[in-house]
Amino acid sequence: MSYQVLARRWRPQKFEDVVGQGHIVRSLQNSLKEDRVGHAYIFSGTRGIGKTSIARIFAKALRCETRLESGDACGSCRSCEDFNTSSSMNVIEIDGASNNGVDDIRDLIGNIQYLPSSGKYKVYIIDEVHMLSTPAFNALLKTLEEPPEHAIFLMATTEPEKLLGTVLSRCQRFDFRHAGVKDLADHIRKVSVKEGIEFEQEILITELAKLGNGSFRDALSLLDQVLSFSTDKNISEEVFSRSLGVAKTSAIKNIIEGVIEADVQRITETYRTMIAENVSLKNIVKSLLESVFGIISSKDFNDYNRVSDRISKEVFDKASRAELYWIYEVLAQDFAWSLTSIAPEDATEIVIRKVALRNDFIAEVSGGQQTSSGKPQASSSELEQVIEEVVEEKPVVQVLEQPIEPVIEAVKEAKEVEEIVEKTVEAPRKIVIPIPEKVEETVSAEAENKVEEKEVIDNSDKSWEGFLNYLTGVSPASSSNLEQGNLTRPLAYVEGTVAVSLGFPQSSKVFFDYLNEAEAYEKLKTNIAKYFDVELEKVSLILNLVNKAEAEKTSFQSKFEIKVKEEEIVNQNKEKEIASDEMIKHAEDIFGSSIDKIVLNEKNRS
């Protein structure tokens, strides 16, 4: 007997075999039990989720003479045996893609008047019904509206939006759900046990379910493809990756850990190995983003077990939530550019390495002080060490009859110090001159008159609103972060002391977490102290997370939420003003109609 692919071998034969479509199965079973069967049904949904299979199961049950309690066909009566033959005249299945002409439908309608040779119903199954031409649909309309009592139409489609409204209105429509990863994984696991297939890692089943993209048939077809690469029905990560051309889970794990730990060499080696193994760039990028997203979700719910196969516990604990959110955002944005660039493979590698070296770039930008000439300024200890080395190599010693005082000339900006030392000594000896912490320089008259200007802050409005306005000019991003929250009690500014109690709703938890980080928290306190002109120690800053129940009880809203509602009110008033305009009313009277919708121009709302 020839081999039958898994998708056909495991096609559902009974209602209980159908996976993930419980709502449809229950409806059909109830209609059979209560004998409330419609004359036309449309089954719509993505490919490979059981539309045609359920149509066949339903058709067989409709014609069964001794139906079971569950609604399934008995499988042994004359009608069931007739259904199992490929030449049955009572169950007619046609493909709408290849029989889409008006003549094909006319032939079907011409034979519909004849009674079934056995059983109560004659069932017509039309697959891919959306492929029928418009004349063919029109020819079918009258029959769909008033078919013979013995005729039932079961139509399946992946694109219901292409069907005529007149057709949809004559049928009962059932929308099939997209198969979830869990349902697909459970089905693959069940088939694997029955077929004697072993997966070395549980994560491979989940990855296969994801690649199925919501389709049971696609998932089983991919499993067949993997099995064709394996000789003993044992599926390892190597077999899985090579047969499907997807990235290994271990490789993705290496890159993610390399990004978090700034290990560029590890990233480069792993990435180039995947490229050499002909793993598609799109697959690498998608796998990376999915894995980082999973890690973020696990971090949010503090559940490492979800991603134990994608990142080590040590690295998971090391990475902060804010950092992971930033990594995902940058990767998602930059991958969109790299995949469409002239050299996508190189550009994608650069994107990953750039994110890994984020701390180095930040250090280079905000690191050591610079002089006015733009050159790095060396510290006193570094200068002293350099001078000591120079003096040791080439000591400048001169013996004179009369002693003279040493002369130290300090070069101004670059701090390149040249020592000329002349001293009377009995014998030449090494001279080491330490450089003082501050070198006195000859300052020009112009420089003497230059006084460091103190930052002038307009803090006349000693309120939280005034502070936010000030912060908008100094740091717009910080001001936006604060607008995601609001004061939980009035700001207290008394006798050189400022007390701020700031709350954030659950929806703004990411901003709350960011401001709780030490660096962001201190920066906010510093800005508050600067604006209210108080010492840093006199600033009391409390950050709270307001849960939903507490927010409803106290009517707490963030600045952003208040702003949105105010804008909505303004827009509603504007719409009312436009709707009540005399010219608009006059136009409505002329055309005998009314305004259905008003769309405000974003640029001219004010």
Tell me, what CATH number does 185's domain have?
Answer: 1.10.8.60
Q: Looking at the domain assignment, is residue 450 inside a domain? A: no
Cα distances (angstroms) measured from residue 146 to each of 166, 214, 485, 591: 13, 36, 62, 40
Burial of 247 (0-12, 13-18, 19+ CB in 10 A): buried
Q: Is residue 330 part of a domain?
A: yes
| 445 in a structural domain | no
Q: Within this chain, do residues 582 and 487 fall inside the same structural domain, yes or no?
A: no
Which of 118, 50, 44 is CA-nearest to residue 84? 118
Residues 296-327 pLDDT 10s: 999 888 888 888 888 999 999 888 888 999 99
Give residue 157's pLDDT: 93
H helix or E strand, kind and range, residue 336: helix 321-338
Q: What is the pLDDT of residues 515-528, one digit of tens each?
A: 888 888 888 888 88
Number of domains composing the chain: 5
Q: Any idea what the Cα angle at residue 237 is, between residues 236 and 239, rounded to 5°?
A: 65
Nearest to 252 by CA among 209, 293, 200, 215: 293
26 and 171 share one domain: yes
Residue 115 CB-density burial (10 A; 0-12 exposed, 13-18 middle, 19+ buried): middle
C-alpha separations of 308 from 3, 240, 291, 304, 313 in Å: 38, 20, 11, 6, 7
Which residues lie across from 419 on neighbouring strands?
Answer: 408
211, 104: one domain: no
Q: Which residues of the chain have pLDDT under 70?
A: 1, 365-460, 602-606
Q: Which residue has the tokens 């709780």?
A: 516
Single out the residue in 345, 362, 379 at which a domain terminates: 362
Report the predicted TM-score, pTM, of the whole model to 2 decimal places.
0.56
Query: Looking at residue 460, what is its pLDDT?
Result: 67
19: region left, alpha or beta (phi > 0 left; psi from -120 to 50 alpha): beta
Cα separation, 475 vs 459, in Å, equals 16
Task: Clarify whether residues 59 and 11 are in a common domain.
Answer: yes
Contact 542, 502 (CB under 8 A): yes
Tokens, residue 309: 């196969």
Cα pseudo-dihedral 44, 45, 48, 51, rounded to 10: -30
- Residue 43 sits at φ, ψ, to 5 deg, of -105, 115
Separation of alpha carbons 67 and 61, rounded Å: 7
Please classify residue 485 by burial: count the beta carbons closer than 10 Å to its beta carbon, then call 0-12 exposed, 13-18 middle and 19+ buried: buried
Query: Distance from CA of residue 421 to its chain's centroid?
Result: 68
Residues 212 and 338 in one domain: no
Residue 61 CA to residue 53 CA, distance in Å, equals: 12
Q: How far apart, in Å, are the Cα atoms of 142 and each of 104, 106, 138, 167, 245?
A: 16, 12, 8, 10, 51
Of 328, 362, 396, the domain-final residue: 362
> CA 359, CA 363: separation in Å to the nearest integer?
6
Residue 140 domain boundaries: 6-175
Sign of the four-CA dihedral 551, 552, 554, 560: positive
Q: Are residues 25 and 169 in the same domain?
A: yes
Helix boundaries (H) for 39-96 = 51-63, 78-84
Cβ atoms 210, 50 nearer than 8 A = no
Q: What is the CATH number of the domain that holds 37?
A: 3.40.50.300
pLDDT score recorded for residue 602 = 60
* Strand residue runs (E) in 269-389: none
- Is 526 among the domain residues? yes
Say whether both 312 and 207 belong to one domain.
no
- 206 & 258 share domain: no
Rg, Å, the chain Cα set = 38
| CA angle 70–74–80, rounded 5-degree value | 130
Q: Could you tell me if residue 69 is inside a domain?
A: yes
474 alpha carbon, distance to own chain's centre: 31
pLDDT confidence of residue 30: 92
* Shared-domain flag, residues 83 and 164: yes
Dihedral pair phi/psi, residue 311, rounded to 5°: -160, 145
Q: Which two tokens stand for residue 142?
A: 């009258």
In angstroms, the CA 197 to CA 576 distance is 67
The upper half-sphere exposure of residue 467, i.e. CA atoms within 13 Å in the direction of its Cβ, equals: 22
Residue 439 lies in a domain: no
Does residue 21 sit in the same domain as residue 165?
yes
Shared-domain flag, residues 74 and 39: yes
Query: Does 372 map to a domain?
Result: no
* Closest to 297 in 3D by CA, of 331, 321, 318, 329: 321
pLDDT at 458: 63
426 in a structural domain: no
Per-residue pLDDT at 53: 93
HEC letters along 55-124: HHHHHHHHHCCCCCCCCCCCCCCHHHHHHHCCCCCCEEEEECCCCCCHHHHHHHHHHCCCCCCCCCCEEE
- Same domain assignment for residues 26 and 136: yes
Task: Please spell the DSSP secondary structure of 455-508, one letter per residue.
Answer: PP----S-SHHHHHHHHHHH-HHHHHHHHTSEESS--EEETTEEEEEEEEEGGG
Q: Which of 327, 362, 397 is a domain's end point? A: 362
